[in-house]
Amino acid sequence: MRIAYFDCFSGISGDMTIGAFLDAGLKLKALTKELAKLKLTGYELGARRVKRGGITGTKFDVTLRKSAHHTHRSLSEILRLIAKSGLSRRVKEDASAIFTVIGRAEAKVHGVRESQYVRFHEVGDADSIIDVVGAAVAREELGIDEIYVSRVALGRTFVRTSHGALPVPAPATFEILKGMPSSLTGVEAELTTPTGAGIVKALARSFGEPPAMRVERIGYGAGSRDLERLPNMLRVAIGQADRASNSARITVVETNIDDLAPNHFEYIFERLFKEGALDVFVTHIQMKKSRPAFKLTVLADAGILDKMQRVIFEETTAIGMRYYEADRFILDRKIVPVKTKYGKVNVKLSGPAGHIFTAAPEYEDCATLARSKKVPLKAVYDEAKRHVKV
């Protein structure tokens, strides 16, 4: 599996993302050819070698022609533009996901409806559309299956926008990064833009330390300014996932609950899994004054921590929770159908490549056959396991 790790030690923006991919081997000609499918006009693309704090990288530039008509597009207009283009389905999906993340954040912080009335202004201009769609194009051109992201650095200052003076981190940037690992630095600059935050929020598999990987390429994408305190660069490492360890960083969310009817947990589990939880379980515990209680534990990717928090606060009586990052190791897994005398059963096989440690017939398949054939569930389960070829 081909993966990329975004090292956001100096933040991230749209042009820094494209610059890093170009520095790591993306061809500007290929990028230009794909972006032409958007049918946008009045711009030129360029790439140049620059230094930022002693590190050499690539600066990606979008130059808008003076004669071009600059349009402030709404979210729905941008999504239609992408949908009608000749881009591949994956590029369309990635680009639309990024813009949807940004649009929702902009709508919330500016107090407007998430609809055709959401005007993007800077984000709706041609250069930002190119940055977002270009990031999606780059991912496909370089064959990247999954993206992992470090803690995102944020600066402190004020910037002038079409909405007036805004604090940095920009409100939309802060909203997008909610629930994700980030750090406020003392650098007086906008290190992370809404576009950069939207890219990592929409595309990242998880956040934190680098995953186990064999690095093949490293690219540096330069920001516009040369900062005094740190190199204004985004570093992207691209390579193959280390399948020997199958390790990943996840977030563990926990909360203690002593005043909720136990039968509510079934619905809570359903909502958490629907929002993307990897696993959910309840442990019986005893709290102060010997009160019996439950500990609700949720395993999830860091990028959806805010969703897990929202469900827990909406559906339980919890008034607080704990969360922390953890490493997990997982075996390779696959589903294979087996034919038994009762009918077909899907069996989940787990183990390292070429070996099977466990074979677990799917419960629903076995239960359905047990009811229809009027035989014990255990009989169907054991029969399915006997048909697994090790």
Question: Can you tell me the mean pLDDT for 113-132?
Answer: 68
| 50: number of Cβ within 10 Å | 18
| 291: number of Cβ within 10 Å | 11
Question: Can you tell me the mean pLDDT for 17-21?
Answer: 98
* Structure confidence by residue, pLDDT tens digits, 252-295: 999 999 999 999 999 999 999 999 999 999 999 999 989 999 99
| 77: number of Cβ within 10 Å | 16
Identify whether 169 is preceded by a cis peptide bond (ω within 30 of 0). Answer: yes
Please report which confidence band the pLDDT of residue 117 belongs to, taking 50, 70 and 90 as the band edges.
very low
| pTM of the model as a whole | 0.70
Concatenated DSSP letters for 28-80?
Answer: HHHHHHHHGGG---SEEEEEEEEEETTEEEEEEEEEEPTTSPP---BHHHHHH
φ/ψ of 177, rounded to 5, equals: -80, 0
User: Is the pLDDT score of 68 beyond 70?
Assistant: no
* Structure confidence by residue, pLDDT tens digits, 178-224: 888 899 988 999 999 999 999 999 999 888 888 888 999 999 999 99
* Structure confidence by residue, pLDDT tens digits, 311-329: 999 999 999 999 988 878 7
Q: Give percent of the chain above pLDDT 70.
A: 93
Dist. CA 112–CA 133, nearest whole Å: 25
Please report which confidence band the pLDDT of residue 350 belongs to, taking 50, 70 and 90 as the band edges.
confident
Cβ atoms of 92 and 80 closer than 8 Å: no
Cβ atoms of 79 and 116 closer than 8 Å: no
Cα separations in angstroms, 302 against 208, 305, 331, 335: 8, 5, 21, 27
Domains of the chain: 2-241 (no CATH), 247-329 (3.30.70.1380), 332-386 (3.10.20.300)
pLDDT number for residue 73: 80
Q: Are strands 233-241 and 292-300 parallel, antiparallel or unpaired?
A: unpaired
User: Is the pLDDT score of 85 beyond 90?
Assistant: yes
φ/ψ of 104, rounded to 5, equals: -65, -40
Cα separations in angstroms, 126 against 45, 131, 245: 12, 9, 43
pLDDT number for residue 8: 97
